[in-house]
Amino acid sequence: MSEMLDRYWRLLFTGLSFVAFGVGGLAMRVLVFPALNILVREHQLRVVLARHLIRLSFRCFVGLMRVFGLFQYDISGLDRLERRGLLILANHPTLIDTILLMAFVKSADCIVKSKLWRNPFTHGPIRAAGYVCNDHGAGLIEDCIASVRSGSNLIIFPEGTRTPSDGSIRLKRGAANIAVRGPFNITPVIIRCTPRVLAKGDKWWRVPSRPVHFSIEVQEDINIRPFITETASSGLAARRLTDHLQDYFIQEKIHHGIA
């Protein structure tokens, strides 16, 4: 009986958390970012401030869910994220991975779907923060390279979507192309979520039987120089790097028993 009440209690607070996220996002869209666009005319300063505000809002959301007892988290290697100009690649087990990472990564940039750029509720914050839009076709990789070179920390989930329910990891080649053409070393992040929640295909109201624990591990950089010097073309280097990264994330999954 107590276990059932606990689950319903966490279901209630999960719903309240998402409502708070939506209301907070709307308030920032209607009040904060229009004021920021009016008061700060210099583009780069506006980007810095917008990203800082988004980071703080995500920290508040993560803190709210933690206070509600919905999840706990621990982060190792956080000092590695204190640098600038990082290409951060992470696995993608849950819906809120982006929020968790951007809550702790300074000067974070990310690739945003074009439909969110056109959405009236998200266009303002995304435009103010200067995030990379994914509808630039061939120019997308160049936009990502420019972001990292400018000192932003670009977060990419190389799977392109959340890990499917069968746990199989299949990486797309875009992230490796950015690393090779940059060239940039890769800062890998391993995210573990126990028990599984908000995975691909999961409904938000299907809360697990116990509070969730997130473990975020920022690992040592992967040197991409060997992939460039040992191959004849950037395309081949990107293909080999993608294969290496896929093996890397699969082995980490096996090693840590990630579902």
Output b/e per residue, 194-214; b: 16+ Cβ within 10 A.
bebbbbeebeeeebbeebbeb
Number of Cβ within 10 Å of residue 137's Cβ equals 7
The pLDDT-based confidence of 2 (bands split at 50, 70, 90) is low
Look-up: residue for tokens 């988004």? Answer: 54
Q: What is the pLDDT of residues 184-198, one digit of tens each?
A: 999 999 999 988 888
Task: Kindly tell me if the per-residue pLDDT of 158 is higher than 70.
Answer: yes
Q: Please, how many CA atoms are within 13 Å of residue 156, restricted to the half-sphere of its CB?
A: 30
- Any idea what the Cα angle at residue 56 is, between residues 110 and 148, rounded to 5°? 30
Model pLDDT for residues 82-107, shown as the tens digit of each residue: 999 999 999 999 989 999 999 999 99
Instruction: In whole angstroms, give the CA distance from residue 115 to residue 141.
Output: 19
Residue 34 identity: P
Token representation of residue 29: 């869209």
Enter the tokens of residue 15.
């719903």
The residues near 22 (Cβ < 8 Å, ≥ 6 apart) are none
Q: Residue written as tokens 């420019």?
A: 146
Q: What local confidence, expressed as pLDDT, does residue 106 receive? A: 92
- pLDDT at site 121: 66
- Domains along the chain? 2-256 (3.40.1130)
Q: Are 195 and 70 in contact (CB under 8 A)?
A: no
Instruction: Report strand pairing: 153-156 vs 108-112.
Output: parallel
CA–CA gap between residue 259 and residue 253 (Å, rounded)? 8
Give pLDDT tens digits for 197-237. Answer: 888 878 777 888 788 899 999 999 999 999 999 887 888 99
Q: Which residue has the tokens 């295909």?
A: 201
Using DSSP, state whether 153 is helix, strand or coil. Answer: strand
Q: 120: buried, middle or exposed (CB in 10 Å: 19+, 13-18, 0-12)?
A: exposed
- Backbone φ and ψ for 201, nearest 5 degrees, come out as 90, -10
* 3-class secondary-structure state, position 91: coil
